[in-house]
Amino acid sequence: MSKLNTRSRIAACAALIFGSLGANSALADEVVNIYSYRQPDIIKPVLDAFTAETGIKTEVLFLDKGLEDRILAEGQNSPADVILTVDIARLTTAKDKGVTQAFDDPTVNANLPAEYRDPEGHWYGVTKRGRVVYASKDRVKQTSITYEELADPKWKGKICTRSGQHDYNLGLFAAAIAHWGPEKTEQWMKGLKANLARKPDGGDRPQAKAIYAGECDIALGNTYYVGLMRTNEKDPEEKEWGNAINVLFPTFENGGTHVNISGAAMAKYAPHRDNALKLIQFLTSHKAQQTYAEQTFEYPVEPGLEPSEVVKAFGSLTSDTLPLAEIAKNRKAASEMVDRVGLDDGPSS
C-alpha cells in the first residue's frame, strides 16, 4: 500500500471518529477538535467552562505518544484544530515537525507574558507546574532540598520516580544540563540511579503511594498531582497518599525550582480555525486561569493571579529563571543520557 493511500485512510478514520463524536452538535461549526497529550480528566473542568461560555463543544482525542506523527499522516484532511501538550519540549517538537500554524492575536498576547509565548506565534503556555520532591511526613524531617542533593548517598535506596524517559523528568534533566553541563549532570544522574529504591515505574501519583507504603522516603513529582490527590473525595485511598507527603521545592544554585508548562497550539490545517482561536483565547483568559488554579491545582501563567489555597499550603515556589526554550534544546541530550546511564534499569544494574 502506498504511503499516500495510508495517510488518506488514517485521515478518513480520524474524520469518521470526530464526525461520530460530534454527531449531536447542532452545527458542525459549533465544535473544536482537540488532540491532547494532557489527560482528559485533568483538562475537563476548563473545557466544560469554555463550552458553557461559548456554546462550542469540545471533542478530545487523547494520545500518550505519536500525536505529531498522526497529524502528519492525516495531512490536510486532519480534523485537529488545537493541540494540547504537557511540556515545553512537546510544544517545540510540534512546531519543529510542522504540525502547527502561527498566529498573532492581541487578546492572547495581552493575556500572556512574553516568556510563555513562542516568539513566532506557534505555541502558548497556559499553566505552570513545579517538578518537586514528595517527602514522607513520617520519615523525612528536613524541609528544604536541592536537586544536587538527590545524588547524595544518604538517600541510597530511598528515592522513587517514574521513567526517566517521561517528559516531566526529561524536562528536569534538560534543565540540569543547562545549569551544570553534560558531564556534571551525568555524574549526578548516576548518583540518582544508585539512590533509587526500585526500578522507575508508574506515574507521579503512584510515587506518593509508594511513599505511603514505606517503599521509599522521597520521590520526584509534579505539584498539581498533590492537590488532585488531597482533594479526591471519590478515592479515599488516593487521598491518604496525598496527605502522607510534604512538598519540598528543590532548587538549583540560582535558588529556583524547575518549572515546566502545559501549552496549546493551533493545528496547521485546523478546519475550525475561528473556534480554535476562541479556545486558545479562553485558555489564557482570567476565567480559565482561575479554573486551572482552583480545579486542577496548577500555577496560573496570568501575572499576579495566585494559586489555590491547596497549592499555597505546599509552600512558596520560586521559579527557575532559565528560559524554557533553552531547556527544551537539551531534551535529546537528556534522553540519550538516561539510556546511557541506564536510569530506567533501576539501582542494581
> By C-alpha distance, which of 39, 88, 33 is closest to 276?
33
Angle at CA of residue 329, ends 337 and 336, nearest 5° = 15
Q: Return the C-alpha torsion angle 204, 339, 172, 93, nearest 10.
A: -100
* Helix (H), strand (E), coil (C) string for 96-113: HCCCEECCCCHHHHHHCC
Q: Distance (Å, rounded) from C-alpha 289 to C-alpha 303?
A: 10
The grid coordinates listed for 115 are: 516568556
* Beta pairing partners, 248: 133
Distance from the Cα of residue 255 to its chain's centroid: 22
Q: Is 224 annotated as a binding residue?
A: yes
How far is residue 282's CA from residue 196's CA, in Å, rounded to a whole number?
42
Candidates 153, 113, 136; CA nearest to 302 is 113
Residue 139: all three cell numbers together: 520519615
Signed CA dihedral, 60, 64, 70, 71: sign only: positive
Distance, in Å, from the CA atom of 49 to the CA atom of 47, rounded to the nearest integer, reads 5
Residue 175, all three cell numbers: 534543565
Q: Residue 211 belongs to what H/E stretch?
A: helix 204-212
Determine whether the annotation assigns residue 35 to a binding site: no
Which residues carry a binding-site annotation? 224-225
Which residues carry a binding-site annotation for Fe cation? 224-225
